[in-house]
Amino acid sequence: MARIPYADPAKIHPKAREVLEKLPRGNIFAMLAHAETALDPFNRFGGALLRRGTLDPVLREIAIIRVGILSKAPYEVEQHKAIGREVGMTDAEIAGLEDGAASPAFDAKAKAVLRFTDDVVANVRASDATWNACAAFLDHRQLAELTLCVGFYMMVSRFLETFDVDMEGGQILANFKR
């Protein structure tokens, strides 16, 4: 159960209410609406990472789901497992995310992304070895997008867990196929 009530659309600033009305009916957005001036920028930034990047969507979802696992954020994990399936992740890959880079479900690129994600979550700055492994196959933009995804979803996970945002019971909030 959420720690505070979800925002009442009738009681938030009209600009925030307008943004909220355009979003899927999800508990995360209803809780984020308490931060009225952050709701739209949050949504636009998350959308840019998810819909307008050049990072392979499977690698992106591998990183996001792994962040959710490491952050112990089941809402984030479940939402992005579904998105991962939409963009082509296999059930073996999704299951393998619990073990991270040790899982045989992943190729060398995915393992490098997993190591990078684990390193940034644990240490803030990826080690040179971890960085170089990703830099061997990601261009500068993709490296930036990967790092931003890890950081953004660390923030999202912490928000979800701090406020005990309730899961919607299987509802997936958006379609992310490309």
> Which pLDDT does position 178 carry in this prediction?
33
pTM of the model: 0.92
pLDDT at position 177? 39
pLDDT digits (tens, 9 = 90+) for 110-167: 999 999 999 999 999 999 999 999 999 999 999 999 999 999 999 999 999 999 999 8
Structure tokens of 42?
């949050």
Please give the Cα distance from 64 to 78 (Å, whole number).
Answer: 11
The Cα 31–Cα 159 span in angstroms is: 9
**Residues 79, 69 contacting (CB under 8 angstroms):** no
Task: Specify the pLDDT at position 112.
Answer: 98
Task: Classify 141 as helix, strand or coil.
Answer: helix
Structural domain boundaries in the chain = 9-51, 57-162
Q: Return the closest-CA partner of residue 114 out of 79, 175, 67, 45.
A: 67
d(CA 10, CA 118): 41
pLDDT at 95 over 90: yes
CA–CA separation, 91 and 178 (whole Å): 19
Residue 175 has a pLDDT of 44
Say if CB 159 and CB 67 are below 8 A apart. Answer: no
Q: What is the pLDDT of residue 25?
A: 85
Which pLDDT belongs to residue 176? 42
pLDDT value, residue 153 = 98
**Encoded amino acid at 33, one letter:** A
State the first-to-last Cα distance of the chain, in angstroms, to the nearest integer: 34
Q: What is the pLDDT of residue 159?
A: 97
pLDDT of res. 30: 94
pLDDT at 174: 52
Is the predicted pLDDT of residue 100 greater than 80, yes or no? Answer: yes
Tokens representing residue 82 in the block: 């579904």
CATH of domain 57-162: 1.20.1290.10
pLDDT of residue 168: 83
d(CA 16, CA 56): 32
Given a cut of 90, whether residue 106 has pLDDT beyond it is yes
Please write the tens of the pLDDT for every residue from 24-72. Answer: 888 999 999 999 999 999 999 999 999 999 999 999 999 999 999 999 9
